[in-house]
Amino acid sequence: MPIVNLKVLGTLSDEQKRELTRRFTEDLYEVADKPPEYTYVVIEEIPFSNWGHKGKLFSDM
């Protein structure tokens, strides 16, 4: 029953989302025996102006 929530800075292509979903699901099956039919992957793409690091927004770097 795994839920993978991925937050990334900026956007991903559909091909990247597809491949990350495939791999994360496979990792959970191979490493922890979690059946793919129970694995959810939710991807959140965060704008540069909404993510800070070292006290600054990425949109200011």
Tokens 């909404």 belong to residue: 50
Binding to a second copy by residue 61, rule CB under 8 A?
no
Active-site residue (options: 2, 35, 36, 47): 2
Is 36 tagged catalytic? no
The conformational region for residue 39 under phi > 0 = left, psi -120 to 50 = alpha, else beta, is beta
Minimum distance from residue 11 beta carbon to a second copy (Å): 10
Bridge partners of residue 28, in order along the sequence: none
Q: Which residues are catalytic?
A: 2
| Binding positions for a second copy, rule: CB under 8 A | 1-9, 12, 14, 16-28, 31-32, 34, 36-37, 39-46, 49-60
